[in-house]
Amino acid sequence: MISDPNTTEIAIDTTVRIWGLFLGWLYTHEIRLDAPLWDKDQDDSKSMPDLLGLYMFACQFEVFELRRDAMNCFLYRFGGGWVMNESTLAGIENGLHHQDPLVAFAVAMVLNFMPGVSYDTWAKLGPRFSHTINVCNKARAEKAWSEKDFVVEDAGRARDLVLRDWCQWHGHRTKGDGTYEQPRLVEVCGEETDTLRSMWKAEKKGKWLSSENREV
């Protein structure tokens, strides 16, 4: 170990794959997965492990913009009809803080779009997650609707609520009444998110190039 006072050494614990995706994002501000976000075959294995890995990397090292862009990828896929599969669910719940927005997103998915979660997957989920689902399901059975908690009558309404404001999934700090603490910052974030969505829409019409066959 070099003990140079001007040098700070840090150890970064990640995979070569995630590190490569991170560097790609750093230089281009684009997340290049091997399957496009609008992939119709719903095969999570092509993109979700990478996306989840990047998201967790961003949380661990507090790279806010990467975390937001990765979250936006989940939202974009969801907007296109994708529903989370069980292995992605188990990966989310076991890797993140229970108050992370992606965990809240997973709760909304299970409540409204994943009716048949298997016993094996339930067994992998933490007690706090299962408890939240139980409480929300009980509220729904009692018709105690709560749009804030995505306890709603039908999946269509839940979809609208999830996609109503993408910034609600970015971890922006809120006040007691639910409004944002830094509205100007959130406004800028919303504009950047809109730009990203427009770019994806344009790419969807054109030719998709994965990280492997794309010229940098």
**Residue 140, number of CB atoms within 10 A of its CB:** 18
* Shortest distance in whole angstroms from residue 3 CB to Zn ion: 41
DSSP reduced 3-state for 6? coil
Q: Supply 52's token pair.
A: 């989840």
Give me the residues paired with residue 146 across strands.
151
Give the interface segment with Zn ion, choosing from 35-43, 162-170, 173-181, 194-202 (CB under 5 A): 162-170
Amino acid at position 21, single letter: L
Which DSSP helix (H) or strand (E) runs through 121? helix 119-124
Helices (H) and strands (E) in the chain — how many of each?
9, 0
For Zn ion, give the closer residue by CB, 77 or 170: 170
Does position 189 interact with Zn ion (CB under 5 A)? The reply is yes
* Shortest distance in whole angstroms from residue 164 CB to Zn ion: 13
Tell me which of 167, 168, 196, 200 binds Zn ion, using CB under 5 A: 167
CA distances from 166 to 32, 123, 153, 176 (A): 20, 30, 21, 19
For Zn ion, give the closer residue by CB, 64 or 153: 64
Give the interface segment with Zn ion, choosing from 42-50, 88-96, 150-158, 168-176 (CB under 5 A): 168-176
Does position 67 interact with Zn ion (CB under 5 A)? The reply is no
* Shortest distance in whole angstroms from residue 181 CB to Zn ion: 12
Binding region for Zn ion (CB under 5 A)? 167, 170, 189
